[in-house]
């Protein structure tokens, strides 16, 4: 039995969704965030870094969303969720599967970190921390995010999904960056977001996505 160690309002939702698309049985162990918004230390008993998602499949422990996605597809007949090898669609699939965590998420995490910075310093220097936070967002983070969102819109407008006209596991991987960015009102700032909105409507209408919401804990990004 596959066990998913699931942190509320996190990227772990994608793993439940993939398991539902694959029609696999699984159990969910849910974790709540602390006051610092981090995962509880009890997750370190599952994996040394104490982060979610983590899955345990019999004696196999796998962390990192991309690695989990590849493991599940390889192990449980997931070829219908990735394009045929050697095709342009497969190249796009591979790119966005890894881009989701390698390029998109670091910027989004950085934006969250800087937004919380003023509240983590002594009261007397909070005005200075606020200025630093705002400057970092305005001059460094937001311009890059705008470029990323523009890439998403161009990609989705031309193909419907990230690898092309067919839904794939790359769309599952990309769902969290897209939903997280829109929750911070990034899409409209990049210009037209019609392709992104169509994408979100399409993935959220999938029965497996909805079943994952019902099985998992809190996931506020589903309403962005």
CA distance 34 to 25: 29
Residues in the chain, pLDDT under 70 = 36-37, 114, 116-118, 121, 123-124, 128-130, 132-133, 135-137, 184-191, 223-224
Taking the alpha carbons at both ends of the chain, their separation in whole angstroms is 33
Looking at residue 140, its pLDDT comes to: 74
Residues paired with 60 in a beta bridge:
57
My answer on whether 140 and 183 are in the same domain is: yes
My answer on whether 145 and 65 are in the same domain is: no
62: alpha, beta or left? (left if phi > 0; alpha if psi -120 to 50): beta
My answer on whether 97 and 132 are in the same domain is: yes
The alpha carbon of 54 is separated from its chain's Cα centroid by a whole number of angstroms, namely 14
Looking at residue 60, its pLDDT comes to: 96
My answer on whether 22 and 65 are in the same domain is: yes
My answer on whether 194 and 215 are in the same domain is: no
Q: Output Rg (C-alpha) for the chain, integer angstroms.
A: 18
**Could you tell me the CATH number of the domain that includes residue 48?**
3.40.30.10
My answer on whether 26 and 92 are in the same domain is: no
My answer on whether 6 and 77 are in the same domain is: yes
What is the pTM for the complete model shown? 0.89
My answer on whether 184 and 105 are in the same domain is: yes
**Could you tell me the CATH number of the domain that includes residue 103?**
1.20.1050
Name the domain count of the chain: 2
Looking at residue 62, its pLDDT comes to: 97
My answer on whether 107 and 200 are in the same domain is: yes
Whether the Cβ atoms of residue 221 and residue 179 lie closer than 8 Å to each other: yes
Looking at residue 136, its pLDDT comes to: 65
Looking at residue 20, its pLDDT comes to: 98
Looking at residue 33, its pLDDT comes to: 81
What is the residue-wise DSSP string for 31-99? E---TTSPPPGGGGGTSTT--S-EEEETTEEEESHHHHHHHHHHHTT-GGGSPPTTSHHHHHHHHHHHH
Which residue range(s) make up the domain with 218? 2-81+210-223
What's phi and psi for 79, nearest 5 deg? Answer: -65, -25
My answer on whether 136 and 189 are in the same domain is: yes
Looking at residue 190, its pLDDT comes to: 47
């Amino acid at each position: 039995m596959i066990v998913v160690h699931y942190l509320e309002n996190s990227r772990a939702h994608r793993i439940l969704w993939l398991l539902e698309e694959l029609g696999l049985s699984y159990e969910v162990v849910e974790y709540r965030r602390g006051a610092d918004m981090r995962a509880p230390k009890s997750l370190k008993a599952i994996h040394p870094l104490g982060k979610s998602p983590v899955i345990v499949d019999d004696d196999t422990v796998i962390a990192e969303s991309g690695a989990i996605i590849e493991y599940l597809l390889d192990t449980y007949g997931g070829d219908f969720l990735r394009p045929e090898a050697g095709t342009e669609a497969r190249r796009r699939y591979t790119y966005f599967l890894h881009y989701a965590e390698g390029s998109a998420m670091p910027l989004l995490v950085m934006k969250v970190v800087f937004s919380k910075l003023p509240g983590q310093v002594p009261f007397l220097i909070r005005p200075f921390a606020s200025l630093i936070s705002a400057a970092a967002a305005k001059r460094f983070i937001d311009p890059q995010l705008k470029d990323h969102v523009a890439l998403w819109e161009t990609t989705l407008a031309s193909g419907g999904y990230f690898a092309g006209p067919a839904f794939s596991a790359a769309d599952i991987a990309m769902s969290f960056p897209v939903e997280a960015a829109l929750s911070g009102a990034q899409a409209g700032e990049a210009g037209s977001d019609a392709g992104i909105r169509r994408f979100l409507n399409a993935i959220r209408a999938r029965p497996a996505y909805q079943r994952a919401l019902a099985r998992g804990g809190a996931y506020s990004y589903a309403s962005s």
